[in-house]
Amino acid sequence: MKPSANPNWNWLRPEKNMMKNLSVNRDAKWHLNQPYNARHLMFAIVALLILAVTGSRMEVPRMVQETAQGVGYVVGLNEESSVATGVMRIAESIWPLRISEEIEVSRIENFDRNDLPWLSHVEVIESRTPHLNTETLQLEETVESKEVLVKPIGYLSHVLLKMLETLEMALWGTILAVALSIPLACFAAANYAPNRFIYNLARSTISLFRAIPELVSALFLVLAFGFGPIAGFLALGIHSAGFLGKFYAEDIENADRGPQEALQSIGAGQIKTLWYGVLPQVLPQYIAYTLYILDRNIRMATVIGIVGAGGIGLELKGRFDMFNFDHVGTILVIIFLTVIILDQFSARLRSRLM
Amino acid sequence: MLRFDSVYKRFPDGTEAIRNISLHVPKGQFCVVLGPSGAGKSTLLRMLNGLSQPTEGSVHLAGEQITERSVQRLRKRVATVHQQFNLTPRMSVALNVLSGALPQVAHWRAAIGLFPPELRQKACRLLDEVGLTPEHVNRRVSELSGGQQQRVGIARAFMMDPAVLLADEPVASLDPRISRGILELLHRQSRNHDTTVLCSLHQPELAREFGDRIIAVNQGRLVFDGTPEQLTDQVCEDLYHGALAHKHDVPEVDEAECEPELELAAA
Ligand SMILES: Nc1ncnc2c1ncn2[C@@H]1O[C@H](COP(=O)(O)OP(=O)(O)OP(=O)(O)O)[C@@H](O)[C@H]1O
Ligand SMILES: [Mg+2]
């Protein structure tokens, strides 16, 4: 179509001209590529090789075989399976869960019968030990009776307290992460960094924080601060500051420029512009991220105690090493319930805020 | 008060938004900028508050060139009504208006949103003046209509005592009655407070009625500069229709009409 002084708008009407002359070159030879070529084949071979090598190193075949045996045992095809017996043994010793706590009275210092701890009572338990009477050659039982202080929910409350400590660790880890990541994020947002050097410094600090796993930093922090929750929440805070810093910085960069320009154009300064032009835009997102990090920190705080950094993990590891599987069962159930309840709670909170 | 010296603005993609504009607007003048869509009106205004920098030439405010160093100081007396309103969407109307006074507010006050009482009263008075009601004050701006948002933006611009007021199509979303009210407000500001107003409009009749002086840009060039009386229907016709039909033709008026600028500048 030639350009004309009087523009012809007919071409805008689809029904008239749409199907005309769509083909640019009728003689063109059409050629569709094959979907696969030698490179794809090479790639598939290499991928298979990697799977084969790493699979044998990971003992994948044994895993498959023993799992199959276990399933067969459950269904009734096999008579024995090492996996199934292992699981069954643990399952049997987990149940019933350990709720109460019993302490021999003789082991308690300054025991005062008239001033028992809350909800507890003294019980006499008799333990019978069979033994062979050498004179009559009969099996006899000697009855030994001990006095024990029984706390009916003693162990449960101990675990709950530890769980509370775990939650507090997660909370303080998150608070620390927020406090660290807000200034980091401002410096790591390209449009607010004062200069290139600080920008790169902030970016690499954030990456470094994210690259240190909690369990590793906790190992070292335990050396520095001793056993207990300090090492735990510091480790959690540093790692999650890496995530929050990255998320916050990206949100600052992607925030709508309009309000920021409005404040910039009157010379409000960077801090006030961030506060009034950016924060209200990104706040719901920030809260969502922070809740997610809190959620993650709670799960992480339960295991971080394994290296001695406070919380329920230490108790879990101790009981596991002593084969007290009924105690382990109680701990696992409490962790499980807590995580589920908090998950529901934070999901509801998030949907409220959005 | 405002001066453009042979200003060119080229965007990185090659668009020439402003081509060789020289212009002087004296203190207290209400100057209306006309021009078809895409002519370069917004770009022209944005060079005065430092949101855009000229590629060539210089822009002066109160006798001082706007440079990277001076801009932070100079822009504190330049209020802008943005074409896209540029309000913070999830923030309340009250805080949006108050944020127009942020440069004068202490950091700690800004941080907790505790603006001094006189600024709060001023915000209420301005909201009343642009025709919003007390029930709007605590709503989020995203819950307002387009025209209401535009008026919030206008109230925000008045929160500082501007020496220069840049209004980029301040009545684009408003009905005729409110439009006149807003332009009256701008006009009064320039009369009573000696504020220099540069206001872009799409309505030549309003320009004639309120402007002390009217300039027109097309394709980045200054094509008309004169008094409201000199903006005849023929000039408007040329500006809008002429521009549409022959894209590379600048209306003839510009040479003839450029002289009044000198008179005004001298006045
Ligand atoms: N950031 C940018 N990058 C590239 N080109 C731009 C940019 N901003 C504006 N332009 C171009 O510059 C020219 C002038 O734009 P400007 O926004 O100043 O027009 P305007 O006169 O304000 O139009 P309107 O009346 O529609 O608001 C237009 O051609 C536009 O496409
Ligand atoms: Mg514009």
Task: Verify whether ligand 1 is closer than 6 Å to residue B52 (CB atom).
Answer: no
**What's the average model confidence in pLDDT over A103-109?**
80
Say whether B87 and A262 touch across the interface (CB within 8 A): yes
Please give the structure tokens belonging to residue A124: 């006499």
Answer whether A3 touches B (CB < 8 Å): no
Side chain identity at B103, as an amino acid letter?
P
Of the partner residues A261, A268, A284, the one whose CB lies closest to the CB of residue B102: A268
CA distance B210 to chain A (A): 25
Confidence of residue B243 (pLDDT cuts 50, 70, 90): low
The Cβ of residue B254 has, within 10 Å, a number of other Cβ atoms equal to 15
Which residue's CA is the closest to the ligand 1 atom numbered 27?
B37
The residue among A9, A191, A257, A266 with the most chain B CBs within 10 A of its CB, best to mutate, is: A266
Poorest-pLDDT segment among A65-79, A178-192, B78-92, B197-211: A65-79
Nearest ligand 1 atom, CA B217: 21
Asked if B99 is an interface residue toward chain A (Cβ–Cβ < 8 A), one would say: yes
Residue A324 — pLDDT band, cuts 50, 70, 90? confident
Interchain CB distance below 8 Å, A265 and B80: yes
The answer to whether residues B137 and B94 touch, using CB atoms and an 8 Å cutoff, is yes
Tens of pLDDT, residues A144-184: 888 888 888 888 999 999 999 999 999 999 999 999 999 99
**A272 close contact with B: CB closer than 8 A:** yes
Res. A25: pLDDT tops 70:
no
**Does pLDDT of A126 surpass 70?**
yes
C-alpha separations of B12 from A257, B5, B37, B53 in Å: 18, 21, 20, 12
pLDDT at A55 over 70: yes
pLDDT band at A30 (very low <50, low <70, confident <90, very high): confident
Count CB atoms within 10 A of the CB of residue A350: 15
CA A142 to chain CA mean position, Å:
52
B114 contacts on A by Cβ (under 8 Å): none
CB A179, CB A315: distance < 8 Å: no
A317 phi, psi to nearest 5 deg: -65, -40
Alpha helix segments (H runs only) across chain B: 41-46, 71-74, 93-98, 107-112, 117-129, 146-157, 176-193, 204-210, 233-237, 243-245, 253-257, 259-266
C-beta of residue A312 within 8 angstroms of C-beta of residue A302:
yes
B40 CA distance to ligand 1 middle (Å): 6
- For A120, counting Cβ atoms within 10 Å of its Cβ (0-12 exposed, 13-18 middle, 19+ buried), the class is middle
Q: What is the pLDDT of residue A18?
A: 47
Residue of B7, B21, B37, B41 to test ligand 1 pocket, by largest number of atoms within 8 Å of CB: B41
User: Is A275 part of the contact surface with chain B (CB cutoff 8 Å)?
Assistant: yes
- Supply the pLDDT for residue A161: 93
Residue B17 C-beta-side C-alpha neighbours within 13 Å: 19
Interface predicted TM-score (ipTM): 0.87
Q: Residue B237 — pLDDT band, cuts 50, 70, 90? A: confident
Residue nearest to atom 2 of ligand 1 (CA): B11
Q: pTM value? A: 0.79
Q: Give the length of chain B.
A: 267
**Inter-chain CB proximity A265 and B107 less than 8 Å:** no
pLDDT at B245 over 80: no
- Chain A residues within 8 A of B70 when measuring between CB atoms: none
Q: Which residues of A touch B100 (CB under 8 A)?
A: 266
Question: Among partner residues B75, B76, B102, which is closest to A276 by beta-carbon distance?
Answer: B102
- What is the average per-residue pLDDT within A298-309? 89
Q: Which residue has the higher pLDDT, A143 or B103?
A: B103
Confidence of residue B264 (pLDDT cuts 50, 70, 90): very low
B13 lines ligand 1 (CB under 6 A): yes
* Cross-chain Cβ contact B110/A276 below 8 Å: yes
| Nearest residue by C-alpha to atom 26 in ligand 1 | B37
In chain B, which residues have their Cβ closer than 8 Å to the Cβ of A272? Answer: 102-103, 105, 107, 110
For ligand 1, the distance from its centroid to the CA atom of residue B56, given in whole angstroms, is: 17
Tell me if chain B has a CB within 8 Å of the CB of A263. yes
